[in-house]
Amino acid sequence: MSLASLVSKLKRFNRIELAALAFYAISGIILLVLLPFTGFPPQFALLGVLSLITDYGIFIKRVWAPWLLFILFAAATTFSIYTLYAVGFSNMILGISMVVYAVLTWIFAGYLLLGKRIKP
């Protein structure tokens, strides 16, 4: 894919959609990078891979992207709420990052799913 075609594809998205694409890509990469440091828990791998595949689906505007986005929304919400319940705010960095992750997941998934922004 050339740089010109990438730029032309990115022009189809508004700022919030570009922020959602960046969020899903960055969160997927962070979860996969943290995988070896946390003892290889399967939920990190699942959320990381789902985030990257969802990001690709939204970017290419695939038909299955809303379904995968909903699955990622449910999995990320469950993961962040369980982590907050288990760890609480005894580790402030982890607690705040889980709250931010959950809130950004809800905002971007709500915008993309309810706003019907990712129709092919």
Report yes or no: 97 and 115 within 8 Å, Cβ to Cβ: no
CB 65 within 8 A of CB 76: no
Q: Is 117 helix (H, G, I), strand (E, B) or coil?
A: coil
Three-state DSSP class for 34?
helix
Q: How far apart are CA 53 and CA 44, in angstroms?
A: 14
User: Locate tokens 């003892």: which residue?
Assistant: 39
Report whether pLDDT(9) > 70: yes
pLDDT in tens, 38-97: 888 888 899 999 999 999 999 988 999 999 999 999 999 999 999 999 888 788 998 899
Contact yes or no for 72/22 (Cβ under 8 A): no
The distance of Cα 116 from the centroid of its chain, to the nearest Å, equals 17
Residue extents of the structural domains in the chain: 14-114
pLDDT at 118 (0 to 100): 54
Which residues have a Cβ under 8 Å from the Cβ of 65 and sit 6 or more positions away?
Answer: 54, 57, 58, 118
